[in-house]
Amino acid sequence: MRKEYDLKTLKGKKNPYAKRLKKQITIRLDTETIDYFKALAGDTGLPYQNLIDLYLKDCAEQQKKLKIEWVEAS
C-alpha cells in the first residue's frame, strides 16, 4: 500500500448496488403495529424494521390491494 495517493488522478466508479440500497423515510405507525412487529422480531431474531420492510415488499410484489370501506357517521 502506498503512503500517499494522488487523488486528482483517481477516477471514481459509481456503486453498482446503489439502486438496491434502502432509502430512509419517516412513517407514522400505530403503537400496536410496532409492538406486533417487535414481538415478531423477538421470535424470529430479525430486526423489526426489516420485518416491516419484508412484509411491505411482499405486499408490493403480490400487488395486494387494501379494501377500505368508509362508514358514514349517524
C-alpha cell at 60: 408490493
Q: In 3-state terms, what secondary structure has residue 7?
A: coil
Q: Which residue has the cell 405486499?
A: 59
| Alpha carbons 74 and 2: distance in angstroms, whole number | 78
- Per residue in 37-46, pLDDT (tens digit) is 999 999 999 9
- Per residue in 7-58, pLDDT (tens digit) is 777 777 787 887 788 888 999 999 999 999 999 999 999 999 999 999 999 9
Per-domain residue ranges for the chain? 23-61
